Structure 1
């Protein structure tokens, strides 16, 4: 099948609506010189265009027109002439009412006749005139600078009676969507997709189901109404009602009359009858939403005293008569299963975010540490105060529109001044502090006020989508609803700095009400009642969709509002998303909004965790081994891109996921080894080898977390000649680097019982910092027992012995267990250790007494791989605290890996002279002898952990399959000491089976 590409080279609104295999001309933004438009320029070029379609959303409840006051501020219902706004024609049924969610993994279904690819992981789907194309991405390829999973259809789920003119969204909840074909007719198909769920739940009217495969699938379990089958190595379960039997077994088309009217399709992790049994148990529990909005639901709790965020994910199912139990099966991403206290099932899937692990039931709960946000760094630096003062004096106290006047660049300027103002206060330059505050206030109040007839620097409310749009907008924020969290997060950051110093300014009756509306636009923490009138001034909770930008199950935000890309939705700047939620934390504290704070802490914590997992791959487990990069500039639904929307410069690719620096970005320094790894990759890929010329100050700020001396040296060498990044100042860069020099890196092993607090450790002592946003003095208690008294509306810092006096190791991890294993890997889980002094920093996994890997604090599970099949291994785990003290070992667990092959084969690898014009013995001959009549065998191997090579072996003599690296496939001569890891995939009874890994040293 032709693969859907997902670059930025083609206007997605101009695609032919009758094509179910669209293409875009550029595979990856920033990775080709042919891509001349940045994402922001690209969207700006057509942001005013609207979609023309065949269906319209039901008429929303009428809202009043004109200007509406919110305290001292206001917004308008009258769009300025000539400005763009989001599509007015939407493909929905009467079950879907405004405010309409955007920026989701399924958003393309709202604005296209059918949809773009919908990556619900572990599967993908694509709506077209026939029905729903379905596939299961499992293998990686590496076009341009991307790591991308294959997108190939296994079958199309259609209706036996008809094709369809369009597909419409029939319902949605926190991470699920229901699509409907044939709305308004007697012949319909409805399909419900849920992020993380292996099930597709379908209902039919006026006919039955028809599944058209590329080639005839192998049916390995036929229970008449239930089938287990395999197509191109992908396994599926088909579950029809009792008495509704499948026809066409043995052909490429399967049909079912479905007198019961429904069917479930499951993406299976393997092709065994026992797995089919388990999935059948839950297959008739439909996760579907046709208007109620409660099929899936997220519920977070920020426990300040414990310094953690607990998040519960719930499923509400409609159980059919065949249901055997309650709940469902769902696959969890790494940012979830690493923070899960319960054990997972043995079933796993590989998806673009790494390994998904499955759980069963109607809910599950994760627990993440909340490590604090600071409004600014304290005055602890080793800087020269006179020099710092001179830089403060040079800060421009006024709006700088040198980059443009839209919402993004306006917001960046608020951020620049908000970060500089506290430093001015610290050096005693109160006139500069007041000037900066005054400039923020003046510009913000201008934007937060819409006068009759005004056309610039105002906000317009679109009541169909339920969104505030600032004009002039930036980079598709109006026409595509792109990037609202990026842009408005800067507005909130500027407002939070004002609220920190002037509580009255932030009152609802003054300017706080408008700031609350901006936050609700990108992160409305209340689910709207769509039966109510939408008017933000009177009814803010019901005037915006729930958590517009943030994906509750995905754990991070999406930037594209309508997601019209074959690669799914995407997000580039993870750090600007984190900044938006960090600003929300501050605003909630300074305005005393505890409900907002609860959600802000949840959003911040999960966005940080996901950035570390998917953009930075903190544990080196989620990015594919074959990819030549350690960093994702952009995360897509189906891939990682080492790219940006605006530049192919490595400095930009890395820097866009660092900036802006502030007290919200301490997470970048939690792991100095990760910071070193990421920075080193930037240097290696930079055209100037680390002689930064794009965003030098951004790179220096990040470098401080891995080598602060180098950061200082680079700053000192260029301080008189470099130009600060648009959101930075020389004062802030100097202040930042030299504070990290004085205090050390942020310490992730220590949390605090207050949101605006953090601890730093320089290796010999800790510095404890807290800002009190209350009107009376408080005492902040840190998790290592340290207390800090902080007066009202002020910051305190205290340096103590920290790790240097802590000689007591943590308790040993307990209840070590193995929830599952394969022929080459073992899953481990354990109960958390505790440490009353410096806190648990990380865990160490030992295999047969030797250290294998370290696991971040807060994570109580690991998958250890690279084992030989049919072999027994012993495992233990220890805990290490912030002072470096290591606990005694946990209980030992012995696990024997699966005996892959089970007598099905024998194999060997021998050294040969490859007949490549030399006489050296420097090649390999692989031999696989099948005992089960395999028609084909594939060999997969790596050399010293590098690129994986995958080849079909020769079969010249019956059951013996061979491959010689030369002359069959020239990969280069092997050298003494090379480590070759390899495994086989062999055909067995119509299905594909993998052996375990084998290793040899040349």
Structure 2
């Protein structure tokens, strides 16, 4: 079977005709080629690129880890797979739904590999002892059944006995969960004999709405009918309108049959949908609906990389100018790794923008120095091993920095890191068109590494973005029992915001609209799952915090990767407070609730990320912003993050006081 190409359409743009693939080739040609990290054993067809940063990446690299397509969990075994419905519980610090080992499915395999994947599904091939394909399983996000189709005749055995409780649907009850089985093969309790082309679909049933046995039977059979049309693949369409973006996932099923899909909290729909039951998921209580095409609308968020000081009062402008004079007089920092190096440039780009608006003496000289520091990252010769260097890794199919902090050589956090560089490129390129021409292709390589919108290139399509979940994943290989994860939703938002500014600067409407779509979805999910989640949802009954710092496939956790400081729990969800960060506002009470848990009744901002928390406070209304303005002027210098400056803190707050 040929690996099917991921299907993606950006309405209004023919990406092939626009020459996007050629732009990608030019971007790669602008970088040296190298690799610095050996890849773990890759369980994937040679026809596809290494699938990093996916919800299913745990299957692809090294020893397979559980994955969570929603609503069920899937564990790869040597002989087949284990299928189950996670039992979601909450505690003071965690909402958890670990992988369930309820049903062990043995297809007689000796190996497996990922044969194909697209933006919302993955196809897994199972091989016998001589490497011949036995059959294929398709896991599609949101679909509550996994379908396995035979390539050659063989038997499938199950760890649990299923009984033909209902016409055409066998069922089993395991540890309080209700499962179903439909097949075109020969079924007998614990085994199924499949001929070539025949399938078996295993269903994780939801909580039913019916109370009587007859009502439950009708609901079981309705869902079972959907599972008799196995999902083959998905196709995604994005549309950018004047005040919203529209996302559609089309689930392509056998014989164009119906599909059952779980609708998550951020999937806001206007038309009524056919409700088939509900699931408790770590993302919230979610209905199961009948929808061949899952379409939802999200408020549009516009990219923005400049603060606007034109309406700031003169006395405050004077305070800002004094802070800018001091900040640009400091010795510039130039870390060698891509994360802190990018943050240092980001800090100085924002500072330069403000110093220019305020006509601060020395701004031009500061800008020239910043341009030189920025260009150093893109001047490496083909054989260079200089620390501030980007190169194209032709093993992993992506861009890496020579000093690869936080595992970027394993493709962790690329959108976090590259977002800072894209922001700086947009600010400096607008200021100096000659610089833009010097770095265009190299910066494009960063952009396409995380946001390639076409198939069959040297980068995977939309590497880090999970369309169904509406947000990105940060781990490249996801070697965890909880699936993939993302901590700093706000740095993901920063990446798409900067991508939009880069697209606008380079005159590519398609890239701008692509970024608006990504930005709008990520911002919505950031609020829905990180900072403004529904505290009344039953799945969060025992959770005792108003923010969730770390979102996994199988849990939402009050923790960060690097710090136990309480201020980091919120700080990592708001930094770097780019000009686009107004998306975090809109609910003053929730902002103050989120802050109160961190800074207490007396408002103690003298702690890690206290600068960003003060900026976040400014979104809670005029009075809160006025207090933040005064508190910020007394914040200790050591509390200003290395990606921030006192000038920017004050300017952000001042902009929200007009």
Tell me which of 589, 593, 607 is aligned to 2:508: 593
Partners in 1 of 2:87 and 2:307 — Cα distance?
45
Partner of 1:654: 570
Whichever of the two has the greater Rg, that structure is 1
Conserved in 2, the CA contact under 8 Å of 1:486 and 1:580? yes
Does 1:725 find its partner at 2:653?
no
Does 1:131 find its partner at 2:80?
yes
Does 1:116 find its partner at 2:78?
no
Conserved in 2, the CA contact under 8 Å of 1:186 and 1:206? no
1:206, distance to aligned residue in structure 2 (A): 4.2
- For residue 619 of structure 2, give the secondary structure of its aligned residue in structure 1: coil
Partner of 1:608: 523
Conserved in 1, the CA contact under 8 Å of 2:422 and 2:447? yes
- For residue 173 of structure 2, give the secondary structure of its aligned residue in structure 1: strand
Output one character per residue of 1:31-65: Cα deviation in whole Å (capped at 9) or x when no partner: xxxxxxxxxxxxxxxxxxxxxxxxxx9xxxxxxxx
Conserved in 2, the CA contact under 8 Å of 1:116 and 1:565? yes
Partners in 2 of 1:481 and 1:604 — Cα distance?
21
Partner of 1:264: 201
Partner of 1:196: 142
Tell me which of 376, 384, 388 is aligned to 2:306: 376
Partners in 1 of 2:243 and 2:95 — Cα distance?
36
The residue correspondences of 1:775-854 to structure 2 (distance < 5 A) are: none
Partner of 1:429: 360
Conserved in 2, the CA contact under 8 Å of 1:399 and 1:413? no
1:231, distance to aligned residue in structure 2 (A): 1.6
Kindly indicate which of the two structures has a greater share of residues assigned to helix.
Answer: 2
Partners in 1 of 2:564 and 2:398 — Cα distance?
32
Does 1:285 find its partner at 2:229?
yes
C-alpha RMSD of the superposition: 2.5
- For residue 511 of structure 1, give the secondary structure of its aligned residue in structure 2: helix
- For residue 385 of structure 1, give the secondary structure of its aligned residue in structure 2: helix
The residue correspondences of 1:618-657 to structure 2 (distance < 5 A) are: 618-621=533-536, 624-657=540-573
1:595, distance to aligned residue in structure 2 (A): 0.9
1:400–1:145 Cα change, 3 Å:
farther
Conserved in 2, the CA contact under 8 Å of 1:556 and 1:606? yes
1:118, distance to aligned residue in structure 2 (A): 0.7
- For residue 76 of structure 1, give the secondary structure of its aligned residue in structure 2: coil
Tell me which of 378, 397, 419 is aligned to 1:489: 419
Partners in 2 of 1:399 and 1:116 — Cα distance?
46
Unmatched 5+ stretches in structure 2: 4-23, 209-215
Does 1:461 find its partner at 2:392?
yes
Partner of 1:569: 484
1:482–1:256 Cα change, 3 Å:
same
Partner of 2:17: none
1:73–1:247 Cα change, 3 Å:
closer
1:431–1:190 Cα change, 3 Å:
same
1:69, distance to aligned residue in structure 2 (A): 10
Output one character per residue of 1:390-415: Cα deviation in whole Å (capped at 9) or x when no partner: 2111224788447x420001110121
The residue correspondences of 1:394-405 to structure 2 (distance < 5 A) are: 394-396=326-328, 400-401=332-333, 404-405=335-336
Range that drifts further, 674-683 or 380-389: 380-389
- For residue 661 of structure 1, give the secondary structure of its aligned residue in structure 2: coil
Partner of 2:182: 239
- For residue 717 of structure 1, give the secondary structure of its aligned residue in structure 2: coil
Partners in 2 of 1:262 and 1:663 — Cα distance?
52
1:728, distance to aligned residue in structure 2 (A): 0.7
The residue correspondences of 1:266-665 to structure 2 (distance < 5 A) are: 266-270=203-207, 272-288=216-232, 295-303=233-241, 306-319=242-255, 326-336=257-267, 338-379=268-309, 380-382=311-313, 383-396=315-328, 400-401=332-333, 404-429=335-360, 431-432=362-363, 434-456=364-386, 457-478=388-409, 480-507=410-437, 510-526=438-454, 528-529=455-456, 542-621=457-536, 624-665=540-581
Kindly indicate which of the two structures has a greater share of residues assigned to strand.
Answer: 1
1:221, distance to aligned residue in structure 2 (A): 1.6
The residue correspondences of 1:886-925 to structure 2 (distance < 5 A) are: none
Output one character per residue of 1:651-703: Cα deviation in whole Å (capped at 9) or x when no partner: 1111011110121111112221221121112224x9x9734222221111111
Unmatched 5+ stretches in structure 1: 1-56, 58-67, 249-253, 289-294, 320-324, 530-541, 743-1002
Does 1:711 find its partner at 2:622?
no
Partners in 2 of 1:93 and 1:386 — Cα distance?
62
The residue correspondences of 1:21-100 to structure 2 (distance < 5 A) are: 74-79=30-35, 84-85=36-37, 87=39, 89-94=41-46, 96-98=47-49, 100=50
Partner of 1:749: none
Partners in 2 of 1:512 and 1:736 — Cα distance?
29
Partners in 2 of 1:86 and 1:655 — Cα distance?
34
Higher RCO, 1 vs 2 (CA within 8 Å, ≥6 residues apart): 2
1:203, distance to aligned residue in structure 2 (A): 1.9
Partner of 2:52: 102
Conserved in 2, the CA contact under 8 Å of 1:111 and 1:562? yes
Conserved in 2, the CA contact under 8 Å of 1:556 and 1:607? yes
- For residue 553 of structure 1, give the secondary structure of its aligned residue in structure 2: coil
1:430, distance to aligned residue in structure 2 (A): 5.9
1:641, distance to aligned residue in structure 2 (A): 1.1
State the aligned residue count.
619
1:187–1:491 Cα change, 3 Å:
closer
Partners in 2 of 1:644 and 1:435 — Cα distance?
39
1:417, distance to aligned residue in structure 2 (A): 1.2
